[in-house]
Amino acid sequence: MNNTMKFSISETNNGERLDIFLSKKIKGLTRSFIKKIINKKEVKINNIITRSPSKKLKLNDIVLINVVEKTENKLKPKKIKLEVSYEDEDLLIINKQKGMVVHPGAGNYENTLANALAYKYKDNLSNINGKLRPGIVHRIDKETSGLLVIAKNNFTHSQLSKQFIDHSIRRKYICLIWGVIRPLNGRIQTLISRNRKNRQLMTVSDIRGKKATTNYRTIKVFTNKDIPKISLIECELETGRTHQIRVHLKYKGTSILGDNQYGKKNPKFKKINKDFLPILENIKGQALHAQTLEFYHPTKKKRVAFKSELPSDFKKMMDLLYKLAS
């Protein structure tokens, strides 16, 4: 089993720079790191080694890249409780709790999921994304809870990454939003890019950014004279852009309960159910949960699906809403 990935150039990518193409296709690898791989002679086009990151690709070109291990600062293993929903010899499913960052970054180098994985599994994880991201195939936001797949070896990692690229992995999120989204069920397709005024946030753009697609359906609209109108919706991602669901919901004129970055801070009410506000204020982060994950298992050769329970703060709000709506 090796780390070699193969891509065929279609009309969509005809004329695109090699480094830009690969940074789009290989989840988790930066353009600068891809350039390093190219300079190390680990990339071939039509079976010929290239050392030119700016080389323009042509229709039907075959690109081979050997994803070598990154040389980075050493990750500090740390004993942090993990909720493992499933595990076999090739991968595991983690139910991430709110408040946990997936991998080290500015300001947080020791209390991440990656630190916890390094402590529990040591070197028995893939290293495609480098020493600071052992086994990490994809991410979810710090204040979002739910399921993540972790790869134990590079073969499994590369096969899972391909499924993210071709959108065959199914990821469904459940969330509570203010008001009602229109139409009740739909598909949101936009470009998403960095917010020019605040680089920590993302925004919908008409002219620049990466394509982002979110399918959604309304499960329940809660209406009661003693609470504001709230909807329970399910979002299924076709792409996995940073803050995608939150950005798309803002674009549609709503926001997730507890999301103070892309929505309004918890609104003030003249008249409200006495139990509602304490439960609302107890929601840690946004009421967004990565509930289901379905993919083709690379070694078991079959599709597998996983589902996780809602976190307690989310569930308490749901229980109250159903109680008041009955």
Residue range 179-232, pLDDT digits in tens: 999 999 999 999 999 998 888 899 999 999 999 999 999 999 999 888 899 999
How many whole angstroms separate alpha carbon 93 and alpha carbon 143?
A: 18
Q: Residue 264: its pLDDT value, please? A: 72
203: helix, strand or coil: strand
* 84-166: CATH number: 3.30.2350.10
* 4-66: CATH number: 3.10.290.10
Pinpoint the residues of the chain covered by CATH 3.30.2350.10.
84-166, 171-292+307-325
**Looking at the predicted structure, is the pLDDT value of residue 71 above 50?**
no
Average pLDDT, the chain: 91
Nearest to 88 by CA among 23, 152, 140, 180: 152
Residue 141 is among the residues annotated as catalytic for this protein: yes
How many whole angstroms separate alpha carbon 80 and alpha carbon 114?
A: 10
Nearest to 100 by CA among 91, 108, 89, 90: 108
How many whole angstroms separate alpha carbon 290 and alpha carbon 307?
A: 9
Residues forming beta bridges with residue 171, ordered by sequence position:
237, 293
115 neighbors 125 (Cβ within 8 angstroms): no
CA angle, 260 then 188 then 317, to 5°: 40
**Looking at the predicted structure, is the pLDDT value of residue 70 above 60?**
no
How many whole angstroms separate alpha carbon 298 and alpha carbon 148?
A: 16
Q: Residue 107: its pLDDT value, please? A: 55
CATH of 171-292+307-325, one of 3.40.309.10, 3.90.226.10, 3.30.2350.10, 3.90.950.10: 3.30.2350.10
How many whole angstroms separate alpha carbon 98 and alpha carbon 278?
A: 19
269 neighbors 142 (Cβ within 8 angstroms): no
Percent of the chain with pLDDT over 90: 74
How many whole angstroms separate alpha carbon 269 and alpha carbon 289?
A: 26
Residue range 256-291, pLDDT digits in tens: 999 989 997 666 677 788 999 999 989 988 999 999
Pinpoint the residues of the chain covered by CATH 3.10.290.10.
4-66
Write down the catalytic residue from 19, 141, 259, 313: 141
How many whole angstroms separate alpha carbon 119 and alpha carbon 271?
A: 50
